[in-house]
Structure 1
Amino acid sequence: MTKICIVEDNAEMRHALSLIIQLTDGYSLEGVYENAEVAMREIPTRQPDVVLMDINLPGSSGIDCVWNLKQAHPKMLFLMCTSYDDNDKIFQSLESGASGYLLKSDGPAKIVEAIADLLDGGSPMSAAIARKVVASFSKIKSDNPSVQSLTNREMEILDLLSKGLLNKEVADATHTSVATVRKHVQHIYEKLHVNTRVEAVNKYLKR
């Protein structure tokens, strides 16, 4: 059973996210918190696999909350679920330790899909967010030896990942299986000397 916690100050959104988790097979709702201070105190006692995190919270922000929890619990996964789509908030969230970034307007199905991708090692992002991330990166530098070591197929997969595609979407786009995509992603990690997709994409696009 995958354990989920939610940090959200809006009562209506908190209720909606809670229902999404409770109605999804294989997920267990471990805790729901209205602010970062309570979340930072209580979440370590729950040890969730994934935390859905809002940014605009009373008191400390969701970004600060992620940073503090990630330092103490590096294996814990954080998915920002927010209304903010400005570049500063996006990159601050990723730098704090978040592995994914969704807009609340994406809807329930996307949130469930994003959690599954997060657990599978992905870095799910809303399409609008992925475009902003890619637009903020400079072009690949030809003198990057680690990127040059990638095969054409690995470059193709990494390019798709940089656009925010999920494993299944990459598999569909390349006419391969999800297992094959996972194997390629692992080879990409090894060649680029990284541990996450965010790091791989950043290195590929020379953020």
Structure 2
Amino acid sequence: MKIKVAIVEDDQIIRDGLEYILKNSKGFDCIGVFVTAEEALNNLDVENVDVVLMDINLPGMNGIECARILKQKRENIDIMMLTIHEEPDKIFQSLMAGATGYILKNTSMKEILRSIKELKQGGSPMSSQIARKVIQAFQIAPVEKTNNLSEREYEIVCELANGLTYDEIAEKLFISVETVRYHIKNIYSKLQVHSRTEAVMKVFQSWRNK
């Protein structure tokens, strides 16, 4: 089954390039191309799309606000920000709005397609530069003062922020997948959240409020 992708991008060269590669790559279907957030909100059939590629700097409403509204319309829609912005505030504002991926525009088309697949499979793809900034932001926060998380739980939240799957976290930390699931259950309980994005944002907000 093809992954149905919509594009929200005001740069014509980038927009046309994305549309072309999606229409000519096996396993993908470009079901909508929009220049503005308003156009996307008025015309995109949220029930007929798997992934939305979203620019941040758009004329009129920005992509972060557009992502927030799309998530309100359909909670399980996947949104991947495709942008030039590397600032931590933009990254976390996007995550708070509901984005589950964050890729820079200098990323190759091949990598963008791979990231779309990863997103559809439940991952949280991020450009390496972005993942590094996310981890650096979390490393600043005092572990013992962050929502009563243990050092191991905090470490796992950092890996969630880095977009790793449960299997990848288990391999990296030399623990079983069952142990990862156990820790994540405790993390969700302590933070009173129900998803990876909510957990990441709760810890980040805790750090920002210190």
TM superposition score normalised by structure 2: 0.79
Say whether the 8 Å CA contact 1:50–1:77 is kept in structure 2: yes
What runs of 5+ residues in structure 1 fail to find an aligned partner? Answer: none
What amino acid maps onto 1:40 in structure 2?
L
Does the 8 Å CA contact 2:84/2:105 hold for their aligned counterparts?
yes
Q: Is 2:36–2:59's contact at 8 Å kept on the other side of the alignment?
A: yes
Aligned residues: 199
The equivalent residue for 1:197 is 196
Per-residue CA distance 1:153-172 (angstroms, 9 max, x = gap): x7765543333446776576
Deviation at 1:14, TM superposition (A): 0.6
Partners of 1:160 and 1:143 in 2: how far apart? 16
Per the normalisation by structure 1, the TM-score is 0.80
Distance 1:190 1:169 in 2: 17
The residue aligned with 2:160 is 161
Aligned to 2:142: 139
> Tell me, what secondary structure is at the counterpart of 1:32?
strand
Residues 79, 100 of structure 2: 8 Å contact kept: yes
Per-residue CA deviation, residues 161-186 of structure 1 (Å, 9 max, x unaligned), is 3334467765764689xxx75x6654
TM-aligned CA deviation for residue 201 of structure 1: 3.7
- Range with greater deviation from structure 2 (136-145 or 71-80): 136-145
Q: Report the Cα distance in structure 1 between the residues aligned to 2:194 and 2:24, rounded to whole angstroms.
A: 32
For residue 130 of structure 1, give the secondary structure of its aligned residue in structure 2: helix
Aligned amino acid, residue 142 of structure 2 = K
State the distance in 1 between where 2:167 and 2:105 align: 22
User: Separation in 1 of the partners of 2:24 and 2:42?
Assistant: 27
Determine if contact 1:117/1:166 at 8 Å carries over to the other structure.
no
Partners of 1:140 and 1:204 within 8 A in 2: no
Q: Which residue identity is paired with 1:134?
A: I
Matched residue type, 2:198? E
Match of 2:20 in 1: 19
Amino acid at match of 1:139: P
Letter in 1 for 2:70: L
Report the Cα offset of residue 101 of structure 1: 0.7
Which runs of 5 or more structure 2 residues have no equivalent in the other structure? none
Give CA-to-partner distance per residue, 1:32-73, whole Å, 9 cap, x none: 111111100111366311100001111111111111111111
Deviations 1:56-92 (A, max 9, x none): 1111111111111111111111000011111221121
How far apart, in 1, do the equivalents of 2:181 and 2:21 lie?
31
Q: Percent identity?
A: 39
RMSD: 2.9
Determine the C-alpha separation between the residues in 1 that align with 2:19 and 2:179: 35
Task: Write the mapping of 1:71-86 to structure 2, written as runs, cut at 5 A.
Answer: 71-86=72-87
Query: Which stretch shows the higher mean deviation, 65-74 or 14-23?
Result: 14-23
Matched residue SS, 1:57: coil
